[in-house]
Structure 1
């Protein structure tokens, strides 16, 4: 028997399809913030006008650093993890997109039954289609949420790349600073041992006391003791750098580069209002606000009736594994589903999504404020440490001169050993402080690059 479809259903179905544009929408919430017109620390900051670009690390003039950052961006485990999250978000969007299309099912079967020695054979082939009309935009809102989630994940990946470059640069500078501080400690040990030989000779000749000899020996022992912690710290910093790059922790690195040879680039901070467009982490936070708005729209649409269409066609035959002498069927149906009572579950979901939106809004507001503070702090640190380094160079020059004079006067018997000991400590401290201030200036520049977004710009849609 052949069943004909009820053609009176078609006008109603077409009317439903044409009214499917009445989708619910939800505006994207954004925080209301008064951004400053300029940076408070801009007056004392560098007057550089060079804009920040996406290869900012090249401004330090270190070929080794260029290679390390390139290696990290290509092979760092943390970035590969983040890249897989982007892939997962892309697949989630593909799944959401699939909900906009009809679902088709094809089935075929053949069976035989024997009842009281009467054998009955059947064969069938059927094709079914199901489609939910997105009358209120619930499915489309889910797609929009997935699309915004993908954008946020991509921005997170960009932020991870920026953070990775900054971490590699900072760790490399720490490595160079520790190497230099270790060399300074060893050099000062050599100086202390040289003075000890002078004191020993004077003691042997009766020109120095046992106290003076003991004091200088104590100085030598203290200098030796200062070396081991620096050696351990250097090894740990190198292993941390190796982990960032995805290398074995025992990997070696070049040692010929000098901290003083690196340039401290000037950075143009631009205007605070431009910061919102220059940082990938803020872009990711904004994308999550867009996803939250879409989730609210989907939750609101779920409160309204749902309409689904289905159609089926099939052929059947009384023969086993054969479709000869078939019977054909065709069916079209439409159904409306409206939740009458669910204990408030759907309404609670709307409230839940709104609460999450408010949470993300405050999170985004806080992220903007933190970003502004990071730039201000980086500008202030750069200015302060530049001034401190200049003053420390003068201190070092005087400390070197004082030690030379103290040693000369001690040899001539004009001053006691205490003067030499104080001059040694002053010189060692000045050299070590200068190395740490140079490291601080380089780190300040990295922090400012990172706070300004590292030359990132939002990709064109």
Structure 2
């Protein structure tokens, strides 16, 4: 009887793992040479080809920003969610892997009662008495078609995708923290510029009043000067609101209530700017670094493994079981004639149906969708980065032009004031020159803030900030 059993097990053991083995498809976008090429905008003076450093925010050499990012990494709620999701994915992986281990069970139960005499073919009732039934069972599922292996493979890829999601959350939190800090600092700078403009206009209003008293000015000039003053004052409240809301965002990003955010944590008077061209690397480094690309690739691997899980359901399931124990009268517990044992395979097989083949087709379609999603994320990463580089480079050009224009406006305003006081030009010329200067100051301050914001947007597109921040 042993030979047929062993022969059957040998035949089944010769079966291999069903479903496709995962490898990165040759037609995937990430495999195209153009995807790993240098960036189209890499030749701009604003960039250099060095790799992006892990803690890119340290390039600003701003201790306050470094401290805020550190606090965000320690307490941000999105990071806590992503870390919990990773822990769950790893627990699922351990659970799936546990299916490859033997399952051991034990049972035991003494009883008092009477067995059926009729069931034993006896004419007289049996006597009441104590009995027992105790035993141990061991079962082991033979992974003949690779269902467990494919399941472990899929769960492992899911776990790696969850790890990539945690890294992506770190990238986003670092960029959001830097952006909120930049917004707060930029708003403060714009507020300082607006206040200086108000002070300048107030002095001009006072000068106009003195000229009127001296008989050299008119009431119309005073009204226009006051109107300009109130218009400048109207720019202050939105900037104050922007400063406070940026502070509230930083509080939330660092896991605190707004009231817990100390004023000293944002001690900047202008948005931080890099003193050197930005390190951007190339396309190949970007594709290796961005966590969303890594996560999409791991999701593709998981979907591919699940084709094998679905396919294995079309084949028999074989488990090898061993049971041993003692059954009989209680006083015969452990006696030789009460001992029992058995060893053998349990084969179960539901013949393949249309539903089973449909599940395989579903898994194959899910894999095709995962590949398309992976390709889309790669293309989007390249688009985001190139776009962010272009926007940043052009804003630098705009900022330089605004700075030159502001310098000329300041010169023109100074000259117009001297000419007006000398009586060589009218008041409207002075007012126009002052308005031009105020507009230039405001535009330059806004551009300075936008340059810093564009830098952060580019750092976010480059996908740095997760390296070395914990796991």
Q: Same fold (TM over 0.5)?
A: yes
Q: Is it true that 1:442 corresponds to 2:452 in the alignment? A: yes
Deviation at 1:62, TM superposition (A): 0.9
Question: What is the DSSP-based 3-state SS (H/G/I as helix, E as strand, rest coil) of the residue aligned with 2:128?
Answer: strand
Count the aligned residue pairs.
Answer: 452
CA distance in 2, matches of 1:267, 1:217: 45
Query: Do the aligned partners of 2:314 and 2:352 also contact (CA within 8 Å) in 1?
Result: no
Per-residue deviation, residues 37-62 of structure 1 (Å, max 9, x unmatched): 33221222435354211111111121
The residue number in structure 1 matching 2:200 is 191
**Residue among 357, 361, 382 paired with 1:351:** 361
Q: Are the structure 2 counterparts of residues 167 and 264 from structure 1 closer, same or farther at C-alpha, using a change threshold of 3 Å?
A: farther
The residue number in structure 1 matching 2:288 is 277
Q: Between 270-279 and 260-269, report the one with greater CA deviation.
A: 260-269
Q: Is it true that 1:81 corresponds to 2:81 in the alignment? A: yes
Deviation at 1:19, TM superposition (A): 2.1
Query: Do the aligned partners of 1:306 and 1:338 also contact (CA within 8 Å) in 2?
Result: yes
Q: Are the structure 2 counterparts of residues 458 and 177 from structure 1 closer, same or farther at C-alpha, using a change threshold of 3 Å?
A: closer
Question: What is the TM-score with the length of structure 1 in the denominator?
Answer: 0.91
CA distance in 2, matches of 1:398, 1:383: 23
Q: Is it true that 1:175 corresponds to 2:184 in the alignment? A: yes
Q: Between 136-145 and 183-192, report the one with greater CA deviation.
A: 183-192
Per-residue deviation, residues 382-421 of structure 1 (Å, max 9, x unmatched): 3212222222211111122222222223333332322232
**Residue among 145, 160, 166 paired with 1:136:** 145
Aligned ranges 1:347-426 → 2 under 5 Å: 347-426=357-436
Q: Is it true that 1:11 corresponds to 2:6 in the alignment? A: yes
CA distance in 1, matches of 2:319, 2:468: 40
Query: Do the aligned partners of 2:49 and 2:282 also contact (CA within 8 Å) in 1?
Result: no
The residue number in structure 1 matching 2:129 is 120
Question: What is the TM-score with the length of structure 2 in the denominator?
Answer: 0.89
Query: Do the aligned partners of 1:53 and 1:456 also contact (CA within 8 Å) in 2?
Result: no
Query: Do the aligned partners of 2:193 and 2:445 also contact (CA within 8 Å) in 1?
Result: no
- Structure 2 segments unaligned to the other structure (5+ residues): 116-124
Deviation at 1:200, TM superposition (A): 1.8
**Cα root mean square deviation, aligned:** 2.5
Question: What is the DSSP-based 3-state SS (H/G/I as helix, E as strand, rest coil) of the residue aligned with 1:40?
Answer: coil
**Residue among 319, 335, 339 paired with 2:350:** 339
Question: What is the DSSP-based 3-state SS (H/G/I as helix, E as strand, rest coil) of the residue aligned with 1:259?
Answer: coil
Question: What is the DSSP-based 3-state SS (H/G/I as helix, E as strand, rest coil) of the residue aligned with 2:14?
Answer: helix
The residue number in structure 2 matching 1:3 is none
Per-residue deviation, residues 44-103 of structure 1 (Å, max 9, x unmatched): 243535421111111112111111111111221111111111100110000000011121
CA distance in 2, matches of 1:372, 1:212: 56
CA distance in 2, matches of 1:420, 1:228: 27
Q: Are the structure 2 counterparts of residues 380 and 367 from structure 1 closer, same or farther at C-alpha, using a change threshold of 3 Å?
A: same
- Structure 1 segments unaligned to the other structure (5+ residues): 1-5
